[in-house]
Structure 1
Amino acid sequence: MKRIFLIALCGALGGCSGGDHEDLRQWMADNTKDMRGSVPKLPEVLPYQPVPYDVEGVLDPFKPNKIEPESKYKQAAGKGGAFQPDFEARELRNSLLEKYPIESLKMIGYLNVNNRPMAVIQVDDKVKQIKVGDYIGLDFGMVTQISDKEIELRELIQDSAGDWSERKSSLYLQSKEGSKK
C-alpha cells in the first residue's frame, strides 16, 4: 500500500516538472530587451583645502586650571567672580554644621524663640539649633529663611572654570512617621 502511494506521488511530481515554460521565457525577453543598466557619473572630486585654525584669544580646554578648580589660596587673589566666598571667615567660624554636606543634615524640629524662628538640625548623633544668617553645609550655605516645614539656603558653588555662583536650596522637616527607629 505504501509502495503504490509512493509511486503515485513520484508520478504526479514528475508530471509537474514537465514543460519548459517557454511562454514565461518569451515574456521576460520581450520586456527586458530595451533595458540597459546605467550607473550615474561620479561627482567631481575637489582638491582638499585646509582651513586655518586660529587659537589666539581662545581658552585652552585642556589646561588643568580649566578642568579642576583652583585651590582656595589661589582664589583669594581676586579670581572667581562677584560671589567668591570668604574662606578665612569660614575658618574662624569653625562651625560643626559646615563640615557636613547638606544631604547628611536633617531638620528635625522648629522653634520660635522671642519671635525669632529657629530650626533644630541633626547630624550623626549631634543636635544643633540654627537661626537665619547661620552657615551650614560644605557649599557656604547661609540660612535665609526658616519656616515650620523647611529651611531655605543660599549656597555658593564653584564651576570647573573657577567661577562662583549662587544656588538656592532647601532642607525640609523630616517626619518621624515612616522611619523604623
Structure 2
Amino acid sequence: MKRFVALCCCVLLMGCQPDIADIQLQIDQIKATTSVSIEPYPEFKRMPVFEYQAQDKRSPFQRLSAGISEAPVVTQKNCLQPDFKRKKQPLERYGIDALEVKGSFTAKGNKWALIQSTDGGLYKVKQGDYLGLFFGQVTAINNNTVEITEMLPDGTGCWQRKQAKLTRASKAGEQNNV
C-alpha cells in the first residue's frame, strides 16, 4: 500500500512540469495588441504664501486669563430666570433625549421613576428633581410617563418654559421622547 501511494505521488509530481510556453505566448499577444496611454500629471498652481498676523492676539485654545473677563450677561428685570446657584443633579449632564423611563414605583407615599441614561446608569427621580440640559424639573410622575418642565433661553436674557414628556415607549436617542 505504501508503494502504491508513493507511486501515485510520483505520477502527480511528474505532471507538474513547468510548461508555460502557451501562457507566455498569450501574454506576448496581449501586450502587442494593447496600447497603454498614461496621462501626464496635472500642473499645480503655486499658492501665495500666507503670513500669520495674529501672534499678538490671545490663542482661542487657552483659557481666559484673570485680567480678561467674558462679556457680561445682560438680563432683563422681572423675567423668568433659572436658579444658576443651585447644585446640579446627576441627570442634568444628559439631554432628555438621552434618557429612558424604565419604570415607576411608590415608596412611603412618594412616587418615584427609574430613569436610565445612555451610558447605562440607572437613577431614581421624584417630583421636583431636575434632569436634562435645560433646567428640566420633574412636575409629575405617572405609571408610564414622566412630565418635565424645561427652561429654554429666548435670546433676550429671559427664559421660557417648555413642557416635555418621557415615556416608557420611547427609547434613548429618539427625538419623539421630548
Using structure 1 for the length normalisation, give the TM-score. 0.50
1:106 counterpart = 2:105: no
Which sections of structure 1, spanning at least 5 residues, go unmatched? 1-70, 177-181
Which residue pairs with 1:79 in the alignment?
76
Q: Aligned pair in 2 of structure 1 residues 72, 112: CA closer, same or farther (>3 Å)?
A: farther
Which residue pairs with 1:151 in the alignment?
146
Give 1:15-94 correspondences, 5 Å limit: 74-75=73-74, 78-79=75-76, 82-89=79-86, 92=87, 94=88
Number of residue pairs aligned between Structure 1 and Structure 2: 101
Return the offset for 1:73: 6.1
* Partner secondary structure for residue 133 of structure 2: coil
Please report the RMSD computed on the Cα atoms of aligned residues, expressed in angstroms: 2.3
* Partner secondary structure for residue 79 of structure 2: coil
Residue identity over aligned pairs, in percent, reads 33
CA distance in 1, matches of 2:71, 2:127: 26
Q: Aligned pair in 2 of structure 1 residues 111, 73: CA closer, same or farther (>3 Å)?
A: farther
Which string of whole-angstrom CA distances, capped at 9 and with x for unpartnered residues, describes residues 23-61 of structure 1?
Answer: xxxxxxxxxxxxxxxxxxxxxxxxxxxxxxxxxxxxxxx
Return the offset for 1:95: 1.4
* Partner secondary structure for residue 155 of structure 2: coil
Return the offset for 1:175: 7.5
Q: Aligned pair in 2 of structure 1 residues 107, 80: CA closer, same or farther (>3 Å)?
A: farther
Q: Aligned pair in 2 of structure 1 residues 73, 128: CA closer, same or farther (>3 Å)?
A: farther
Which sections of structure 2, spanning at least 5 residues, go unmatched? 1-69, 172-178
Give the 4+ runs in structure 1 shifted more than 6 A: none
* Partner secondary structure for residue 74 of structure 1: coil
Return the offset for 1:154: 0.9
Which string of whole-angstrom CA distances, capped at 9 and with x for unpartnered residues, describes residues 123-175 of structure 1?
Answer: 02100000000000001011010000100111110123332111111111147
The aligned amino acid for 2:95 is P
